[in-house]
Amino acid sequence: MKKLGVFICHCGVNIAGTVDVKSVAEKIGKIGDVAHSTDYIYMCSDPGQQTIRDAIREKGLEGVVVACCSPSMHENTFRKAVRSQGMNPYLCEIANIREQCSWVHQKEKDTATKKAVEIIQSTLEKVRQNESLEAIAVAINRRVLVIGGGSLASPRLSTWPRGAMRLSSLKGTLLWVVTWRSFSRPFQISIQPWPVFSPTCQRLKNTPRSACAVMQNWKTSRVRGQF
């Protein structure tokens, strides 16, 4: 059984103003494999991160859940913190109790508190199943598909198609650009080769590491994968 730690952020009043963080920390602390459960006003701050590092070192934690804001904000922050103590960063997970809990239940403190507990419990289960991972580097296909020429709504504003604008912004960053414009007929792919595409593509061709092609009269036979 892994020894897990849970660290609950107040996020000032963003979380603590709605969620009873002290109560949540207490309830989570009663779970069998949770060796450490605590809360702090700003877990992403230097003192907050030090709290995590100290608990990992002193209690030998093998997995961490930080209950805070969106992973897009500070997941990397906390994974760096646990990695500094020898823990694999992928054994640290974020339980989002701000955007997915406190912000949507601002007038429902009891509901928000109960939901925060449930979110943390589900994240704990994920950490229990997690395995140590290592980041890898893989080759990528540096091609960009610009779908549609898309003239701007008002000719008074511009006659420059949006697709061509996107092409211009990509110069020097890709190996190949393919553009097409689709019409209302299902699965019929074709191009209306506006004159503006020719100079745009020519500029791309004259840029190191870039190329451009406008594909005409294409017909979709099969679609695989996802965008």
- CATH 3.30.2010 given to domain 4-129: no
Query: In sequence order, which residues have a C-beta less than 8 Å from that of residue 99 and are 6 or more positions away?
Result: 69, 70
For range 197-217, the mean pLDDT: 54
Amino acid at the residue 29? G
- What stretch of H or E contains 7? strand 4-9
Tell me if the pTM is above 0.85: no
pLDDT tens sequence across 3-53: 999 999 999 999 999 999 999 999 999 999 999 999 999 999 999 999 999
Structure tokens at 56: 């990992």
What band does 1 get if pLDDT is binned at 50, 70 and 90? confident
pLDDT tens sequence across 162-197: 545 555 555 444 444 454 444 444 333 333 433 444
Phi and psi dihedrals of 46, rounded to 5?
-60, -45
Break the chain into its structural domains and give their ranges: 4-129, 143-214
Q: How far apart are CA 42 and CA 218, in angstroms?
A: 55
Q: How far apart are CA 75 and CA 172, in angstroms?
A: 31
Cα–Cα distance list, 173 to 152, 165, 197, 210 (Å): 25, 15, 18, 7
What band does 224 get if pLDDT is binned at 50, 70 and 90? confident
pLDDT of 188: 36
Q: How far apart are CA 110 and CA 114, in angstroms?
A: 6
Nearest partner of 119 among 65, 164, 191, judged by Cα: 65
Query: pLDDT above 90 covers what percent of the chain?
Result: 59
Q: To the nearest 10°, report the CA torsion of 121, 123, 127, 130.
A: 140
